[in-house]
Each structure stands twice: as C-alpha cells, then as structure tokens.
C-alpha cells in the first residue's frame, strides 16, 4: 500500500451530478437521469435534446479541468424554478504557502472585479469573488443575467488551488446560493489515505452532504 493525500468535499443534497467524478458509463447515466428529471413529462426528443445539452456542458467542464459539476432545480412558490450549478476544479500552483497564494490571487482578481475578499475556512484562507455575465439563450431572445461566485482555496500540501464556482441565473435566490457555497467551502478537508500501489491518485472525493438545497430555500423564503 502507498500513502497519498486526498481532497474531500461535501456537496449539499439536491445538486444532481453530471458524472465527472466517475467513468464514461457513470457520466452517461447521470446525464440521462438529469434529462429525465427536467423533462419528466416531455417527449423523448426533448429528453434526448436536453441530454445532449448536458453532455456538452459536462464536456466543457471536464476540458476546463473540473472533477465535479452538479446542477440543482428548486420549485418556488411563484411557480418559478430556481437553478444553480456548482463546479469544482484543481489547478497547480508554484507556491505552497497558502496565505501567499491567497494574497496574490486576491490582488490579481481586484483588477477584474471590485467584489473580492479573503476569508478563512477550516482548510485555510479562501478567496471569494463575484462576477457577472449575460447569456443569450436563442437568437433574438432577451439576454439572461448570470451571477458567478468563486471560492478559491489554496491546498499547500498538494501545491494546488481548489476553485469552487457557483453560477445561477436565479438572482433572487443568490444570497441563499452564496451561503450554500460557503457551506461547501467549509467542508473542504485534506486527509491522508491509502490506495493500492498500482492505483493512481484520484485527487478528490465528492460526497453528498446532509444539507438539502430545497430546505435552505424554504428556511430563507418561507
């Protein structure tokens, strides 16, 4: 047996994984499940089209180095569906001093956004930044505002930077989603583990947490 360092993250129940943490068959099953959920009363064509959309989305996230991507859907009392995505990825860094990495990152981000701060979570310093963009769902359609919040945590024992990105077009519920991202960041832990000598380091383990997205919505909005 050999020792290796593993990153553990807890994602609230209610986020449906796109399967990046598994093999191709697992990813395909997760995406099909997602399409069936969104179009539970739709046609096969609608479900197939949605599956293709999520497959492309998952591929984009994977190409960007993500090891986890999940989406939530919450029905609101005004008949809206509130939605958000969470994406997690690891990038290599040149420094192993967590505070040094966080300070440099915050300084760099301050040139692109005015809303950036450094806080602390159990795993160490965490750089939080807010970003806005627009998405045009179809030609001639009204642009849809998208808010993205990044929580970036240096992982000095791995000389890596963990980025947790939460994006949502549901701006009314943004404060709830920001709090959920904070809760996710607070679960990040680096632990020693063992794997067979012929196994590669999986890098990160994502588990479903006890908190539920819908419950957080109800506790905030009643």
pLDDT the model gives residue 195: 55
DSSP track, 143-193: PEEEEEEEEEEEEGGGTEEEEEEEEES-GGGHHHHHHHHHHHHHH-EEEEE
SS3 assignment, position 38: helix
Residue 57 in 3-state DSSP? helix
Query: What mean pLDDT value characterizes the chain?
Result: 84
How buried is residue 43: exposed, middle or buried, by Cβ count under 10 Å (0-12/13-18/19+)? exposed
Q: Which pLDDT does position 201 carry in this prediction?
A: 46
Question: Encoding tokens for residue 152?
Answer: 């970036």
Tracing tokens 């009643």 back to the chain, one arrives at 222
| DSSP character at residue 1 | -
Domain ranges of the chain: 2-221
Mean pLDDT of the region 177-187: 92
171 vs 133: CA distance, rounded Å: 12
Provide the pLDDT for residue 200: 43
Residue 184 clears pLDDT 80, i.e. is over it: yes
List Cβ neighbours of 45 (8 Å cut-off, separation of 6 or more). Answer: none
Strand runs (DSSP E) across the chain, as ranges? 2-13, 16-17, 66-75, 81-92, 116-121, 124-135, 144-155, 160-168, 189-195, 204-212
The region of weakest confidence among 112-121, 135-144, 194-203 is 194-203
Query: Quick check: 171 and 140 in contact, CB under 8 A?
Result: no
Candidate from 1-5, 39-43, 98-102, 212-216 with smallest mean pLDDT: 1-5
pLDDT of 149-177, one tens digit each?
999 999 887 888 999 999 999 988 999 89
Whether the predicted pLDDT of 207 surpasses 90: no
Sorting pLDDT into bands at 50, 70 and 90, what band is 103? Answer: very high
């Amino acid at each position: 047996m050999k020792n290796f360092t593993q990153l553990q993250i807890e994602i609230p129940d209610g986020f449906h994984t796109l399967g990046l943490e598994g093999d191709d068959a697992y990813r395909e099953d997760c995406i099909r499940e997602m399409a069936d959920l969104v179009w539970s009363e739709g046609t096969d064509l609608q479900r197939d089209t949605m599956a293709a959309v999520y497959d492309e989305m998952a591929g984009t996230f994977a190409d960007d180095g993500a090891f986890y991507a999940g989406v939530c859907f919450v029905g609101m009392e005004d008949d809206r569906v509130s939605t958000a995505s969470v994406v997690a990825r690891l990038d290599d860094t040149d420094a192993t001093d967590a505070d040094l990495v966080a300070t440099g990152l915050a300084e760099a981000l301050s040139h692109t956004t005015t809303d950036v701060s450094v806080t602390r979570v159990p795993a160490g310093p965490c750089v939080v930044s807010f970003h806005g963009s627009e998405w045009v769902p179809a030609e001639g359609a009204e642009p849809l505002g998208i808010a993205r919040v990044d929580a970036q945590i240096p992982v000095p024992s791995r000389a890596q930077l963990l980025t947790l990105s939460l994006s949502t077009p549901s701006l009314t519920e943004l404060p709830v989603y920001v709090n959920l991202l904070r809760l996710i960041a607070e679960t990040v832990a680096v632990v020693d583990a063992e794997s067979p000598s012929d196994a590669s380091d999986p890098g990160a383990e994502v588990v479903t947490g006890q908190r539920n997205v819908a419950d957080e919505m109800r506790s905030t909005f009643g």
